Copies of this chain bind each other. A is one copy, B any other.
Amino acid sequence: MPVTIQVHRGGFQVPGFRVAAARSGMRYKDRLDCALMVSDVPASAAGIFTRNRFCAAPVMVCREHLAASAGTARAVLVNAGIANACTGDEGLERARRSARAVARRLGVDPARVLVASTGVIGPQIREELLEAVLPDLAEHLAPEGWEDAARAIMTTDTVPKTAWAKGILGGKEVTVGGIAKGSGMIAPDMATMLAFVATDAAVSPDVLQALLKEVSDRTFNRITVDGDTSTNDTVLVLASGAAGNPSIQDPHGPDAHDFLNLLEAVCADLARQIVRDGEGATKFVTVRVRGARTRDRAARVARTVANSPLVKTALFGQDANWGRVVAAAGRAGVDFAPDRVSLRFGDVTVFENGRPLSGPELEEKASAVLRPKEVEIALDLGEGEEEDTYYTCDFSYDYVKINADYRS
């Protein structure tokens, strides 16, 4: 991501979009628990969804609607508290019914309404409660509604997550702004990752989908908290075209490139906020694997290290335990040559050519590097030029506490 893109947090507006949040009372009482995002015109729409076999009803509805509307959308309805997952045909029908209710209220095609849910798995949503607050939501739609929406979609998150950036496309200023809620570290039944991004750039649906896929693979698909995935994970991007730039039709053109950088900057920031808010987490950890023959090999090693419970507990203990890192790398299913591998904690090299470096000062220096809240582990496989990066957090007492006590 080019350093020239400045990403901001807090309130933002995206021309062409209005947003509102409300209290349906479906599960949470006395707090915002649902949000409606509306585009003034049919926007290009793209989505990335969970690959879990147990995929929630709203995910199925999004897939159906994006296909039926040829990648366009007018509105997204989100609720927090009940996930509508493992709910069978009835859950699917309830999700469809809530989309139809939004369509009726806004006077738009139901296929142009997308839905997302997060919360406990198993119970049916009560879409009649969503329908009951629709008039309220529609009445309060406003360009500055994103922060409320970010708050409304929280479950176990401790802070709302927003990010936005501006850039120039085809001579016009464009905005990319998004909200997200956290994943993992708690439970898949409460910790779906949801992200909703809006832009006023004009982008064709196909290009938007292609660019979102590319960006997700480098951002949302590169964060991991415990390797567990949710039934409801959803990332949606809507592009209204209100900026008036010449519509981006070529995924390989210069405008597509610039837009991709903007989108990536915003998504990367949201993804990092999700990891940082992992409950129980005390550290934000970057796992970088360099010198790989292919990017896929780098990714497999980085993912295995980032998910290793032994590495994550060592990081909680601020222990520069190189043995756990290399042992995790060694079981990633990548046939690298051990005697070409080196490892750094921060800027301290602790392992080179398959052998640990020694010295009492070295151990001290390496442990010092692990004291700050943000730490980096860098492995070099010494076999090529490719690299990949994962972001993760540590495993703390609180991780066990929160997850063992969660439903009790």
Residues of A bordering B, CB below 8 Å? 51-55, 85-88, 120-122, 187-189, 226-231, 307-310, 313-314, 316-317, 319, 321-324, 326-331, 334-336, 338-339, 351, 353-356, 358, 395-397, 399-401, 403-408
Contacts and interface: CB of A to CB of B under 8 A. Distances in A.
B309 A228 contact: yes
A53 B313 CA distance: 22
Nearest to A319: B407
A86 B327 CA distance: 10
A86 B356 contact: yes
Nearest to A121: B323
Contact of A328 (B228, B317, B329, B331): B228
A338 B403 contact: no
Contact of A309 (B330, B353, B395): B395
Contact of A403 (B121, B228, B313, B353): B313
A50 to B, nearest CB: 8
5 contacts: A52-B330, A54-B326, A188-B310, A228-B310, A314-B406
B228 A324 contact: yes
A103 B127 CA distance: 77
Contact of A122 (B122, B187, B188, B356): B356
A313 B399 contact: yes
Contact of A188 (B317, B327, B401): B327
Task: Name, among A226, A323, A401, the residue most crowded by chain B CB atoms within 10 Å (CB to CB).
Answer: A323
A179 B231 CA distance: 43
A45 to B, nearest CB: 25
Contact of A319 (B316, B355, B408): B408
A395 B400 contact: yes
Contacts of A226: 308-310
A400 B313 contact: yes
A336 B55 CA distance: 12
Contacts of A329: 53-54
Contact of A326 (B86, B322, B331): B86
Given A354-B88, A404-B317, A229 B331 contact: yes
Nearest to A320: B407
Contacts of A228: 308-310, 324, 327-328, 331
Contact of A88 (B120, B323, B327, B339): B339
A120 B406 contact: no
Contact of A189 (B189, B321, B338, B408): B321
A118 to B, nearest CB: 13
A253 to B, nearest CB: 36
Contact of A227 (B229, B309, B397, B403): B309
Given A54-B327, A229-B331, A407-B321, A397 B397 contact: yes
